[in-house]
Chain A
Amino acid sequence: MTTATETGPGAPDAGASATGSVRRPRGARRRPDWGKYFTWTVLCWLFAPIAFMVVFSFNDIAGRHNVTWEGFTLRWYSDAFAYPDLNVALLNTVTIAVLTMLIAGFLGTLLGLALGRYRFLGQSATNLVMFSAISAPEVVLGASLLSMFLTMNLAVGYWTILIAHVMFSVSFVAITVRARVLTMDPSVEEAARDLGATPLTTFRLVTLPLLVPAITSGGLIAFALSVDDFIITSFVSGSTQTFPLWIWGSTRVGIPPQVNVMGTLIFGLGVLLAVANTVLARRRSR
Chain B
Amino acid sequence: MATATEEPRTRHDAGARAGTPAISLEQISKAYRSGGEDVQAVRGIDLRIEQGEFFSLLGPSGCGKTTTMRMVAGFESPTSGTVRLHGDDVTGVAPHRRDVNMVFQSYALFPHMTVFDNVAFGLRRKREASGEIRRKVAEALELVELNGRERTKPGRLSGGQQQRVALARALVNRPSALLLDEPLGALDLKLRQAMQMELKRIQRDVGITFVYVTHDQGEALTMSDRIAVMNGGRVEQLGTPAEVYERPATRFTAGFIGTSNLLSGTVAGRSGEVATVRIEGAGEVRASCDAPAGARVDLTVRPEKIAMEAEEPAGDRARLAGTVTEVVYLGSATHYTVRLGDGSEVVVFRQNASDAASAAERGETVWVSWRPEHAYALPG
Contacts and interface: CB of A to CB of B under 8 A. Distances in A.
Interface of A: 185, 187-188, 190-198, 201, 205-206, 209-210, 284-286
B155 interface: yes
B313 interface: no
A170 B153 CA distance: 33
A187 B125 contact: no
B122 interface: yes
28 contacts: A185-B106, A185-B108, A187-B105, A187-B108, A188-B108, A188-B111, A190-B75, A190-B95, A190-B104, A191-B102, A192-B110, A193-B94, A194-B73, A194-B95, A194-B96, A195-B96, A195-B101, A195-B121, A195-B173, A196-B96, A196-B122, A196-B126, A196-B173, A197-B96, A205-B110, A210-B111, A284-B112, A285-B155
Nearest to B169: A195
A284 B112 CA distance: 7
Contacts of B170: 194-195
Given A285-B153, A285-B155, A286-B153, A191 B125 contact: no
A194 B102 contact: yes
Contacts of B108: 185, 187-188, 190-191
Given A191-B102, A197-B121, 14 more contacts: A187-B105, A188-B108, A188-B110, A190-B75, A190-B104, A191-B104, A191-B108, A194-B75, A195-B101, A195-B169, A195-B170, A196-B96, A205-B121, A210-B111
B96 A198 contact: yes
> Ordered nearest first, which 3 A-B pairs have the shortest CB separation?
A196-B125, A195-B122, A191-B108
Contacts of A197: 96, 121, 125
A185 B111 CA distance: 11
Query: A interface, by DSSP: helix, strand, loop or mixed?
Result: helix
B192 to A, nearest CB: 20
A81 B153 CA distance: 48
Contacts of B125: 195-197, 201
Given A185-B106, A201-B125, A285-B153, A194 B112 contact: no
Nearest to B127: A196
Nearest to A184: B111
B173 to A, nearest CB: 7
Nearest to A209: B112
A187 B95 contact: no
Contact of A191 (B110, B126, B155): B110
B122 to A, nearest CB: 4
Nearest to A190: B75
A201 to B, nearest CB: 7
Contacts of B121: 192, 195, 197, 205
Nearest to B112: A209
A195 B155 CA distance: 20
A201 B169 CA distance: 17
A249 B41 CA distance: 68
Contacts of A192: 110, 121
Contact of A193 (B96, B105, B169): B96
Nearest to B94: A193
A191 B70 CA distance: 12
Contacts of B106: 185, 187
A194 B153 contact: no
Contacts of A190: 75, 95, 102, 104, 108
Contacts of B101: 194-195
Nearest to B153: A286
Interface string B153-185: 101000000000000011001000000000000
Interface in B340-372: none
Contacts of A191: 102, 104, 108-110, 169
A54 to B, nearest CB: 37
Nearest to A195: B122
A67 to B, nearest CB: 51
A138 B274 CA distance: 88
Nearest to A189: B108
A192 B106 CA distance: 14
Contacts of B126: 196
A157 B121 CA distance: 49
Nearest to A201: B125
Contacts of B95: 190, 193-194
A191 B107 CA distance: 9
